[in-house]
Amino acid sequence: MPHFDSIFNAFVTILVTIDPPGLAPLFLAVTRGMNREERKQVSVRASIIGFAVLALFSLAGAAILTVFGITLPAFRVAGGFLLFFIAFEMVFERRQDRKEKISDVAITKDHIHNIAAFPLAIPLIAGPGAISATVLLSGSFNGWVAQATLVGIIFICLALTYVVFVLAERIDRFLGQTGRSILTRLLGVILAALAVQFVADGIKALVAM
């Protein structure tokens, strides 16, 4: 069974890379014109698909890396840099602008019936950052009990994301522009620190090889 610190760090890392509060206004944007029941169906499907993708990478991430001849420490360093870049975008609010462009494209191309899969599940929920974080974390969760724990953490994060989607209208009104900006920057700083830790651990492992 993993230590509490490992479980908590995994929870924070996955939750921050998914960024449910930041997805709330985008969820409202891509489901514009839908009634409450239709939005609920979209949120359920998007959460299930997002969970399936991240759970797959948590269980088979190491095998996928082996196929390409990539060591986990090397991926840890690369993934840490990617997470740091995402954190940089969050702090300077560039990530939100990019996500809004993705949601706009989905609407203009009339993907309204498939938005649960694209762009909500992929790439807004299970994006490069969340997938990289999941694969990185899977290296620290060895054994079926630990892997089950990681899948459970992903499930909790996606359950929280689903709740955010259901309460999207209220959350968006409550936070407002200022609240969203402060929360995004705060989460970005936390993610940057976690990313630096990933890189440091990866370099240490590479040197020891």
pLDDT tens digit sequence for 4-36: 888 999 999 999 989 898 788 778 877 777 778
More confident residue, 103 or 72: 72
The yes-or-no verdict on residue 201 having pLDDT over 60 is: yes
Q: 115-134: b or e for each residue (b if 16 or more CB lie within 10 Å)?
A: bbbbbbbbbbbbbebbbbbb
Query: Which of the four pLDDT bands, split at 50, 70 and 90, describes residue 102?
Result: low
Instruction: Name the H helices within 34-167.
Output: 36-67, 72-91, 94-108, 128-138, 144-166
Query: Which of the four pLDDT bands, split at 50, 70 and 90, describes residue 108?
Result: very low
pLDDT, residue 70, reads 83
Domain definitions of the chain by residue range: 4-208
Q: Give the CA distances from residue 2 to residues 13, 28, 71, 194, in Å, rounded to whole numbers and listed in that order.
A: 16, 37, 22, 18
- Residue 91 and residue 192 in contact, taking contact as beta carbons nearer than 8 Å: yes
Tokens describing residue 175: 């936070």
Task: Report the C-alpha gap between 162 and 8 in whole angstroms.
Answer: 20
